[in-house]
Amino acid sequence: MTNLSDNMRGAVLMMLSMAAFTFNDAFMKALSDELPLFQALFLRGAATIVILVLLARRMGHLRLDLPRRDWGLIALRTTAEALAAYFFISAIFNMPFANATAILQVLPLSIALAGALFLGEPVGWRRLTAILVGFGGVLLIIRPGADGFNFYSIYALIAVVVVTVRDLVTRRLSKQVPSLTVAVCAAIGVTAFTGIGSLTIEWVPVSTTAALQLLGATLFVLCGYLMSIMVMRVGEIGFIAPFRYTSLIWAFLLGIFIFGETPHVLTVIGASIVAAMGIFTLWRERRLARAAGPVPLRVR
């Protein structure tokens, strides 16, 4: 990628990051055939903690001397992360893969709305309209009251809510908090939560296939996270951010060719609306940021 501009390198990294996260989710869904939810999440989390701690220590980004305020925010964020993992993985265990992924793409819209409601961030009528239209797209994906309605769609929506809380809390962290420290805390929190949950279930033997799927999920989630950090180091985030929606392409392809799921036409329409409104919102934020002048990029 040496011949690419910073923006194009950032776009490629964003697409690779989204592909990695989507493949991680696909491996986790495949595990639903063999392992209970809590056992699968706990085993993936344990492996993730080891690798993240080693990486953070090597990079010098594992800090424990943080202010009490930041530790309180990290604790709240970690709780939201654990709940998000439970609700979203529960959703992909029990509903079409592409549907759950498409619902999660409403995040840029929900974060913009929550920022306006709870942090006083300005949202004009154009972005507010895009947010409302985007949520209408989510209703097309869920189709409440329809014969094909899946109750676990509600779990995916709850995941959106708690991830929104997580990201709003992240905005309140001070600049001295390294991202890898936050990631390690999140991994520990998710693993502890699922470890407690795993005490309520009967563990099953891990077959060779399941072990390979766990390894794949762990490697892809780590790759996704590392590339998402690299994304923040190159290019303009306003240009790069819309490429997050390439995860929808992977989700639909994996749903069709791996899980044998044929997406409903309304799901495709709804996902397209969500993506279009999300891209418009990101474009609008980029335009307003340019009008306000350059803003220093926070890199951690």
Number of CB atoms found within 10 A of residue 265's CB: 9
Residue with tokens 């794949």: 216
**In terms of Cα–Cα distance, which of 57, 101, 67 is closest to 250?**
101
Mean pLDDT of the chain: 90
pLDDT digits (tens, 9 = 90+) for 15-40: 999 999 999 999 999 999 999 999 99
Number of CB atoms found within 10 A of residue 137's CB: 26
Average pLDDT over every residue of 131-156 = 88
Higher pLDDT, 253 or 290: 253
- Type of residue at 8: M
* pLDDT (0 to 100) of residue 24: 97
* pLDDT (0 to 100) of residue 300: 33
In order, the DSSP letters of 279-290 are HHHHHHHHHHHH
Find the DSSP H helices in 95-207: 97-104, 107-118, 125-142, 152-172, 179-198
Residues 6+ apart with CB under 8 A from 286: 236, 238, 239
Q: How confident is the model at residue 281 (pLDDT cuts 50, 70, 90)?
A: confident
pLDDT digits (tens, 9 = 90+) for 207-243: 999 999 999 999 999 998 888 877 866 777 668 888 9
Average pLDDT over every residue of 112-126 = 86
Half-sphere exposure of 26 (CA within 13 A, CB side): 24
Q: What is the model's pTM?
A: 0.89
Residues 6+ apart with CB under 8 A from 257: none
